[in-house]
Structure 1
Amino acid sequence: MKIYNTLTRKKETFFPIKEGHVRLYVCGITSYDYCHIGHARSALVFDMVVRYLRYRDYQVTFVRNFTDIDDKIIARATEQGVDSGKLAERFIDEFYTDMDALGVLRADIEPKATEHIQEMIDLIQDLIDKGLAYPAGGDVYYRVRQFAEYGTLSGRKLEDMQAGARINVNEQKEDPMDFVLWKGAKPGEPKWQSPWGEGRPGWHIECSAMSRKYLGENFDIHGGGKDLIFPHHENELAQSVGANQCAFANLWMHHGFVTIKDEKMSKSLGNFLTIRDVLREYPAETLRLFIFSTQYRNPLDFSETALQDAQTGLDRVYDCLAKIQGLMQAAERDGGVANAASSLIGQKDRKKIESLRQRFETAMDNDFNTAQALGHLFDGVKVLNKACRMLAAQQGSAEDLALLEQAGTTLQELAGLLGVVQQDPVQYMQAKKDKLLAAITLAEEEINTLIAERNVAREQKDWAASDAVRDKLLAHNVELHDGPDGTTWGAKA
């Protein structure tokens, strides 16, 4: 398995520190608002990573934190006239509601910053003792210039960063580049006791403290969005390596942004859609398929068209699996086992079907390339649909049916690693059919009368009248299908 490491800027063969056991830390939400699609991507990417690692027989210890004390939380609570702790708890609950709706697995450990103040104080004291941090006027700052590796994760040079840095009037830094570890208490803000006076932790220190507590000083993978590389993860790395005097995370994974018309989706820009906005219009599996249609490191452009394409793709997989189930049931009704003398499925198609799992794994082992993995699944659907058509037209062999049944099971299992196609295919397709039929706004008698009118127009070669009837039916969500046995109708998809 190869994974792209942000720290080294290349794909690396993955070897966990302890054989067979992966320790993973992912930065979670700052809980002051509803989650948007960018949060959904982060949660789903690492949900997929955990599912796939476990599929590959790794034991995984997955830690994802909650930032429940922060400037943004305090500002929102003040704006709404509520307690900041209660506001944070409310949006942690809302996070769980959204994640459950998306089918995201819970992390093994989900620590909150406010429950780990002592661990942060201990870590800050370690840094002070090593000369890497200093108290100043009730605050504590990290001495960036004392950490020679600062900038290695983001690829930034200290001299370039210094140009834009400055010291605010109320700060007492030794250097503009130094960042805060502990903030002295301000009137009306939450505060805790510390050796440097009352105050609260800075944002960056919390993940260093919580990852050290639950995963140890050196662990396997640290993950998050690309927006966290600098300054959050850069500062985490400086804190942890500085305090522990050993490697921090061996591998750093960062997913790309969700964009709308090539502009990053964010709350500050006001162009974000909440997870709930999308789930009101589309099922969770559709959103998941859309997100995994792009490899996690690449930007993902959100659009209505892309979601509709994902819905069409999802329906195609379910339809294929429903056809396979139908063939199995028909074979049972007709005597249990098909008895054709030889296989109807050609060698080339058989090879594609039999190699589906291996091709999927190869794609996923290449830096979790879900886009390529889905391509293999859809290629499998294409071949399986072809086989279903042949076996529906004429009885296949027992070997054909066994291959088809196993392929259907494999297809659904592999799709499950992405959290999609987890419903019963026959029930899914029936529900879709029922929904489409419910959208038809004409009685069956009216539809048949209009089809009869169209047939007369077609016999008279009055194509304009024929098309007018077809258009009228389409306006009522009725779609016509002309075939050798005449015209049939169904609900417009």
Structure 2
Amino acid sequence: MTKLYIYNSLGNQKEEFIPIDSSHVRIYACGPTVYSYAHIGNARMAVVNDLLTKIIKKIYPKVTYVSNITDIDDKIIKTSQDLNVPFKQITRKFEKIYNEDMINLGVIKPDIQPRATEYISDMIKLIQKLIKNNNAYEKDKHVLFHVPSFQKYGELSGRNREEQIIGSRVEVAPFKKDPTDFVLWKPSANNVPGWDSPWGYGRPGWHLECSAMSEKTLDIPFDIHSGGVDLIFPHHENEIAQSCAAHKNNNPKSFAKYWVHNGFVIVDGEKMSKSQGNIRLVNDLIKSYDGEVLRLTLISAHYRQPLNWTISAINQSKNILDKFYRTLKELEKIEIPDKIDIPEKVFNALCDDMNTPQALAELNKIIKNLNTASKDEKIFIKSSIIGAGNILGIFQKNPNEWLNYGRSEILDDKTVNKLINERNKARKNKDFKKADEIREKLKNKGIEIEDKENETIWRSI
């Protein structure tokens, strides 16, 4: 069996992935808060986890991948109030758009995609356990987790107490026993969404939601918990505290064994933010670029490194895809087996902490000697591209469609083929001036022709 190595943020080292139960691997990723369109940072998380799941499915017989939808949150409530529409109208709309956008990026929908609002009763039960275990307390209709009650708090992020206080996003409030304590349940006014609970009408804290949904859908401990690097503190640190304390276990691995975090996406060297006006939305990008171009751009850098999102990077990805699709076009008459394996060196790179740059480099080496390749070597090259593409989520299109062969928005097929036939006749009669004039005429109409051994083919440029 192939060995998979992943970088575990819990301990900050690359480790061999050894599942809790090799017959069933379980993965949980923190999904989007659906009050607006997803940006490329959200997309990077989804693409990275899609790739990770595909890799693991190649090694283990059963994998369950869960990624949640946060459909109750202060931002959702504010959007609902600003637009004067029910909050579920907002969340269902943007959940649908998110899933459609991710499909465009080649992301397979998670096996389970729980909505936070459908697990409120589980969240209430979890809070009750924490209160019973003296890890949480009620004050002024709020329920808070008492951070000093959990000895291992800070083990994931490596933050000491002073750093926890400074870095905590939790609002400072007079009813807190400790500045680091965070909200498990908060009251809702009558005009704000909420649910009945032992502590009054209210709603859950964000951190609590993932603890409840991951345990309910996967049971604990599960194998991998993932998300963006910005979630390490406080979100994932708080999840560990809640889930472990509820089960009276101080070991963070009693919740999740491996913690995988992808790096930030920056835009033209700057942090993505509303104030900078540089937030890049997937829903906008897919109107200008094919989803495969965007996906390749998202996996072009190692997942743990920052990704600089630039027009140049997007164009480079388009050029790389064009190159491989041209290779597939060259090999279109080469028949390959129905069962295609991933090239060994490509898969080894992916199993080395998802080293996508190395995997792409190995694939480049395979096509390097196409022009001098024998028939068997061509079969291997074509199989390698398709096999690697299946796991990377690229090369899924028909090469003719990708490269625009036989398609023009300006001239109809009949006109193009008539001109090509006239050119071929001129060449046969050694009237090269006329042949060049026809080629130039087609080029001016956005059509490029290529002379092959027994035919002339054309494509839009």
Give the TM-score of the pair, scaled to structure 2: 0.85
Give secondary structure in 2 for the equivalent of 1:326.
Answer: coil
Q: Deviation string for 1:270-324 (max 9, x for gaps)?
A: 3212112111111111111111111111111111111111111111111112212
Distance 2:172 2:216 in 1: 35
Higher helix share: 1
Of stretches 317-326 and 177-186 in structure 1, the one that deviates more from structure 2 is 317-326
Confirm whether residue 434 of structure 1 aligns to residue 407 of structure 2.
yes
- Following superposition, the deviation at residue 233 of structure 1 comes to 0.6
Structure 1: 5+ residue runs without aligned partners? 330-353, 389-399, 457-469, 483-487
Confirm whether residue 423 of structure 1 aligns to residue 394 of structure 2.
no
Which of 266, 272, 292 lines up with 1:265 in the alignment?
272
Which of 367, 374, 387 lines up with 2:372 in the alignment?
387
- Provide closer, same or farther for how the CA distance between residues 296 and 164 of structure 1 changes in structure 2, counting only shifts above 3 A: closer
Which of 321, 346, 360 lines up with 1:374 in the alignment?
360
Of stretches 92-101 and 369-378 in structure 1, the one that deviates more from structure 2 is 92-101
Aligned to 1:23: 26
Aligned to 2:436: none
Aligned to 1:414: 388
Aligned to 2:288: 281
Q: Is the 8 A contact 1:478 1:489 kept in 2?
A: no
Q: Is the 8 A contact 2:25 2:60 kept in 1?
A: no
Aligned to 1:362: 348
Q: Deviation string for 1:48-70 (max 9, x for gaps)?
A: 11111112234111111110000
Aligned to 1:78: 81
- Provide closer, same or farther for how the CA distance between residues 216 and 365 of structure 1 changes in structure 2, counting only shifts above 3 A: same
Give secondary structure in 1 for the equivalent of 2:162.
Answer: helix
Percent identity (aligned):
40
Distance 1:478 1:159 in 2: 65
Aligned to 1:298: 305
- Provide closer, same or farther for how the CA distance between residues 204 and 23 of structure 1 changes in structure 2, counting only shifts above 3 A: same
Alignment of 1:130-141 (within 5 A): 130-141=133-144
- Provide closer, same or farther for how the CA distance between residues 267 and 51 of structure 1 changes in structure 2, counting only shifts above 3 A: farther
Which of 64, 68, 71 lines up with 2:71 in the alignment?
68
- Provide closer, same or farther for how the CA distance between residues 94 and 166 of structure 1 changes in structure 2, counting only shifts above 3 A: closer
Tell me the number of residue pairs that the alignment of Structure 1 and Structure 2 aligns.
438
Of stretches 81-90 and 169-178 in structure 1, the one that deviates more from structure 2 is 169-178
Confirm whether residue 39 of structure 1 aligns to residue 42 of structure 2.
yes
Q: Is the 8 A contact 2:5 2:16 kept in 1?
A: yes
Which of 301, 309, 320 lines up with 1:313 in the alignment?
320
Of stretches 256-265 and 131-140 in structure 1, the one that deviates more from structure 2 is 256-265
- Provide closer, same or farther for how the CA distance between residues 267 and 237 of structure 1 changes in structure 2, counting only shifts above 3 A: farther
Alignment of 1:90-489 (within 5 A): 90-163=93-166, 171-246=174-249, 247-267=254-274, 269-326=276-333, 357-383=343-369, 385-387=370-372, 400-429=374-403, 431-432=404-405, 434-435=407-408, 477=446
Distance 1:371 1:435 in 2: 35
Give secondary structure in 1 for the equivalent of 2:220.
Answer: coil
- Provide closer, same or farther for how the CA distance between residues 155 and 89 of structure 1 changes in structure 2, counting only shifts above 3 A: same
Distance 2:263 2:73 in 1: 24
Give secondary structure in 2 for the equivalent of 1:417.
Answer: helix
Q: Deviation string for 1:458-482 (max 9, x for gaps)?
A: xxxxxxxxxxxx9999876577999
Distance 1:132 1:169 in 2: 19
Q: Rg larger in 1 or in 2?
A: 1
Distance 1:164 1:60 in 2: 35
Give the TM-score of the pair, scaled to structure 1: 0.80
Distance 2:213 2:342 in 1: 40
Q: Is the 8 A contact 2:406 2:460 kept in 1?
A: no
Give secondary structure in 2 for the equivalent of 1:259.
Answer: strand
Distance 2:168 2:48 in 1: 33
Q: Is the 8 A contact 2:45 2:228 kept in 1?
A: yes
Structure 2: 5+ residue runs without aligned partners? 434-438
Distance 1:249 1:328 in 2: 45
Give secondary structure in 2 for the equivalent of 1:67.
Answer: coil
Q: Is the 8 A contact 2:55 2:351 kept in 1?
A: no
- Following superposition, the deviation at residue 380 of structure 1 comes to 1.2
- Following superposition, the deviation at residue 101 of structure 1 comes to 2.1
Distance 1:305 1:438 in 2: 31
Amino acid corresponding to residue 280 of structure 2 in structure 1: L
